[in-house]
Amino acid sequence: MNQPPIYTQHHPRWYRKRVSTYWWTKQWSYLKFTLRELTSLSVAYFVVIILLQVAALSQGPGAYASFQAWLKTPIAIVLNVIALLFVLFHTITWFNLAPQATPVRVRGKRLPDWMVAAPNYVAWVAISAVVVWLIVRK
Amino acid sequence: MPEKITLKVARYRPEHETEPTFDSFEVPLRDDWVVLDALNYIKDRVDGSLSYRWSCRMGVCGSCGMMVNGEPKLTCATFLSHYKPGPVRVEPLRYFPVVRDLVIEMTDFMAKLKSVKPWIMREDEKPLSEGEYLQTPEELDDYKQFSMCINCMLCYAACPVYGLDEHFIGPAALALAQRYNKDSRDQGSAERLDILSQHEGIWGCTFVGECTKVCPKNVDPAGAIQQYKLTATKEWFKDFLMPWRAR
């Protein structure tokens, strides 16, 4: 502590810390955010799958059957399960953030958060039920 | 023997060091003591050279924001006993340049606050004789939450976007802009739109949401920014569909 000052006196020298490339691993909330952003890849994956499925369908029964067979391979099932988990995470976090982004006011009073989030969940369950019915009906 | 707790305090003395180090101090652990009390104890009794900012010690002035065990906190509202048995790590607010010990440089924040024009703008100022601009309780309620900000900068220390891009206007300044946009007396929202609707403005925000979690005044800057994204998108569509429309 006895060395002379190494900069001009009365002239502050600020310490600036660089943000680490791995900043998103340092805090659980940051990691959760990064995972949420990554879920968009899963959404894109499902879009591509559906487009491929439609393309196969347009090429006739043979092409569609071989696409269906690919969907039944273990690798496709694992990919789909992972993508589905990410998409669920995406949906739930998105719905939970909805009240913050779109506060609804009724007669001057802000509705409680759950009243904004709940219709999203209800619509989600209802639409999913219709889709399930369309797929499994004989 | 009264209970004690160890404080690990970040020190940066630019005349002697090129980067911060930590000093450990033992302080009495009293139930009614906050982290700021412990810092004051150190400065009064142990090491008078410790530098930090504080003023009101009651959560109003917004001066004593620091990182406590890695989280942005008002040290006047953060009880020592919460961190039992210790140690408690006290560091300067993250993402800001450090001037000395726990003192950060805030010129950038002050400039950003001003850049969003946080004042009531009128197209037509009515004469004094006509009296004040009246407001209903509902109209007040519309922006009141965003007006509670004390400029403590905890939200900046929580925001990785600000950490990675110093040009980002940041949570508090954007929430403050929304405070004026939502004020029924204000007519400056069109003027503010061009400033807020830049990449460094609302679109820089990726909705990490940490700013809202650390805010000691429940201002919800993340909410303010997302709500404004919706407004800006609507304005963009209106301009796109009706190019002749004058804002």
Map out the domains of chain A with their CATH numbers. 1-83 (1.20.1300.10)
pLDDT-based confidence at A9, cuts 50/70/90? low
Q: Closest chain A residue to B101 measured between Cα atoms?
A: A15
Positions in chain B whose pLDDT score sits under 70: 1, 246-247
Q: What's the confidence (pLDDT) of residue A5?
A: 55
- % of chain B with per-residue pLDDT over 90: 87
Q: What's the confidence (pLDDT) of residue A4?
A: 60
Over chain A, what is the mean pLDDT? Answer: 89
* A102·B227 Cβ contact <8 A: yes
Domain range list for chain B: 4-104, 107-241
CA distance B191 to B197: 11
Q: What's the confidence (pLDDT) of residue B243?
A: 85
User: How many residues are present in chain A?
Assistant: 138
CA distance A8 to chain B (A): 9
Q: What's the confidence (pLDDT) of residue B218?
A: 94
Contact list, A23 vs chain B (CB under 8 Å): 160, 163-164
Residue range B80-110, pLDDT digits in tens: 999 998 899 999 999 999 999 999 999 999 9
- Topology adopted by domain B4-104: Ubiquitin-like (UB roll) (3.10.20)
pLDDT-based confidence at A6, cuts 50/70/90? low
Q: What's the confidence (pLDDT) of residue A129?
A: 95
Contact list, B98 vs chain A (CB under 8 Å): 14-17
Please count the residue pairs, one from chain A and one from chain B, whose beta carbons lie less than 8 angstroms apart.
77
Query: In CATH terms, are B4-104 and B107-241 the same topology?
Result: no
**H or E segment and range at residue B89:** strand B88-91
Contact list, A14 vs chain B (CB under 8 Å): 14, 97-99, 105
Residue range B134-162, pLDDT digits in tens: 999 989 998 999 999 999 999 999 999 99
Name the class of domain B107-241. mainly alpha
Statement: residue A7 has pLDDT above 80: no
CA distance B224 to B182: 10
Residue range A76-118, pLDDT digits in tens: 999 999 999 999 999 999 999 999 888 888 877 788 889 999 9
